[in-house]
C-alpha cells in the first residue's frame, strides 16, 4: 500500500506531528488534571518560525489525551534583509517590521499570543521543537538540557540547512519561556529500527565505527503521522501495516514500513541523498564531488551547488516550484519538461 505525505495546504502540519511525539514523553507521565497544559510546538527554519499552540488535557484513568488547537501561524523572514511578517490563524497581524534574530521573532510571537489569545508566557508549560538530525544519539523525544543542545550543535555538519536554525530557535525559546519544559523531536528517530543492511554504506568499517557515517533517514515525524493516520482510517494496528510512504515537498523522500517500523528510506547521512528535490540534487555519482573540486570549485561551492542550486531548480533553470515548472512545461519548455521527467524517473 502506498501513501503520500505532502506539504500542500490541508496536509498534516509538522506541528501536529510534533505534538503526537510529545504525548509519550511529556504528558502521560503527569498525573490526571482537568487543567489543560498549554503547549507550543515550533519548527524553526533558517528564516521562519512555524508554530502551533495547543491545550492538552489528560483524561482520567487511561493514556488518552484531549488536544485542542488554540492558534497557529508563521513568523516569516527572520534574519532576512527585507522586513518580516507574522501570520496568525491565517491573518496577517504584523507586517513591515525587521526580525533580525530568532530571539526577536519569539518576542514578537509572544506579543501576538498576548494580544490575540490572551496568553501569558508563564502559561506555556511545554515547548516542542522539531530537530532534523539526531544522529545515533537520539531515538525518541528528549528533554533539552545543555548537554543535549551541545550534541545537536555538533550534528549541524550533517544537516547544515536544518540543525543550526533549530538550535537558534531552541536558544530563543529558552529565553522566551524560561519555566517551560523544552523537548526536541527528531526526524531521524523513526528510522532507528532500520537493519544494518539498510543503514550501512559499502565503505570501510572504521568510517562507520569512528565517524558514524551511515544512513539515518529523515522526515520521520511525517512518516509516523501518516502511518498512524492510515491505521486509524483502516481500523488496524500500526504494527499490522506494511506501507510505502512518499513525503513530497521541497525536501522529498520515501520510506518502506514493515509491521509498523521503518526498514528502509531514501535519505542517508544527510538530507541530500535520495530523490530529486526542489534545490537538492538527490542521488548522484560521488565522483562528481572530486571532479568539481579538481575543476576549480571550492568545498563551499560544491556544497552550495548540490544543496541550493540543483534539483528542480538546476534542471529547469527557472524555479524550484513544480507549479511554475509544470506551467512552462505545458507551453513546451524543454528544460522544464526534462525536470518533470527526471523528477518522476527517480521515484
| Residues catalogued as catalytic | 187
Whole-angstrom distance, CA of residue 104 vs CA of residue 49: 11
Nearby residues of 232 by Cβ (< 8 Å), 6 or more positions away: none
Whole-angstrom distance, CA of residue 131 vs CA of residue 17: 12
At what angle are helices 334-345 and 322-330 packed, to 10 degrees? 130
Cell 571550492, located at residue: 298
In the beta sheet, which residues pair with residue 143? 183
Whole-angstrom distance, CA of residue 198 vs CA of residue 245: 17
Q: If 0-12 CB within 10 Å is exposed, 13-18 middle and 19+ buried, where does residue 319 land?
A: middle
Whole-angstrom distance, CA of residue 54 vs CA of residue 67: 6
The answer to whether residues 133 and 118 touch, using CB atoms and an 8 Å cutoff, is no
Whole-angstrom distance, CA of residue 76 vs CA of residue 105: 9
DSSP label at residue 239: G
Max Cα-Cα span within the chain: 66
Whole-angstrom distance, CA of residue 148 vs CA of residue 96: 36
Whole-angstrom distance, CA of residue 184 vs CA of residue 155: 14
The answer to whether residues 261 and 198 touch, using CB atoms and an 8 Å cutoff, is no
The answer to whether residues 158 and 211 touch, using CB atoms and an 8 Å cutoff, is no
Amino acid at each position: 500500500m502506498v501513501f503520500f505525505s505532502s506539504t500542500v495546504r490541508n496536509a498534516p502540519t509538522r506541528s501536529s506531528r510534533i505534538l503526537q511525539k510529545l504525548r509519550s514523553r511529556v504528558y502521560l507521565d503527569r498525573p490526571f488534571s482537568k487543567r489543560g497544559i498549554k503547549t507550543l510546538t515550533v519548527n524553526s527554519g533558517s528564516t521562519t518560525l512555524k508554530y502551533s499552540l495547543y491545550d492538552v488535557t489528560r483524561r482520567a484513568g487511561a493514556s488518552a489525551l484531549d488536544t485542542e488547537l488554540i492558534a497557529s501561524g508563521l513568523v516569516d523572514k527572520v534574519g532576512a534583509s527585507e522586513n518580516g511578517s507574522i501570520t496568525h490563524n491565517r491573518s496577517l497581524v504584523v507586517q513591515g517590521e525587521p526580525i533580525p534574530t530568532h530571539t526577536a521573532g519569539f518576542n514578537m510571537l509572544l506579543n501576538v499570543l498576548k494580544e490575540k489569545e490572551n496568553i501569558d508566557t508563564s502559561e506555556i508549560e511545554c515547548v516542542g521543537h522539531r530537530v532534523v538530525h539526531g544522529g545515533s544519539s537520539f531515538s525518541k523525544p528528549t528533554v533539552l538540557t545543555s548537554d543535549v543542545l551541545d550534541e545537536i550543535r555538533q550534528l549541524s555538519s550533517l544537516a547544515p540547512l536544518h540543525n543550526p536554525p533549530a538550535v537558534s530557535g531552541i536558544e530563543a525559546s529558552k529565553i522566551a519561556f524560561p519555566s517551560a519544559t523544552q523537548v526536541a523531536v527528531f526526524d531521524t528517530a523513526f528510522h532507528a529500527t532500520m537493519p544494518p543492511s539498510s543503514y550501512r554504506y559499502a565503505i570501510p568499517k572504521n568510517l562507520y565505527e569512528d565517524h558514524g557515517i551511515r544512513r539515518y533517514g529523515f522526515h520521520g515525524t511525517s512518516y509516523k503521522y501518516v502511518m498512524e493516520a492510515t491505521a486509524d482510517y483502516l481500523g488496524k494496528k500500526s504494527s499490522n501495516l506494511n506501507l510505502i510512504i512518499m513525503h513530497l515537498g521541497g525536501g522529498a523522500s520515501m520510506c518502506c514500513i514493515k509491521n509498523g517500523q521503518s526498514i528502509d528510506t531514501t535519505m542517508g547521512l544527510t538530507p541530500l541523498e535520495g530523490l530529486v528535490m526542489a534545490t537538492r540534487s538527490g542521488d548522484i555519482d560521488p565522483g562528481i564531488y572530486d571532479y568539481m573540486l579538481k575543476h576549480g570549485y571550492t568545498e563551499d561551492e560544491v556544497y552550495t551547488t548540490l544543496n541550493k542550486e540543483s534539483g528542480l531548480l538546476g534542471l529547469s533553470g527557472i524555479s524550484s516550484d513544480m507549479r511554475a515548472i509544470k506551467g512552462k512545461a505545458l507551453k513546451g519548455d524543454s528544460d522544464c519538461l526534462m525536470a518533470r521527467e527526471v523528477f518522476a524517473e527517480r521515484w
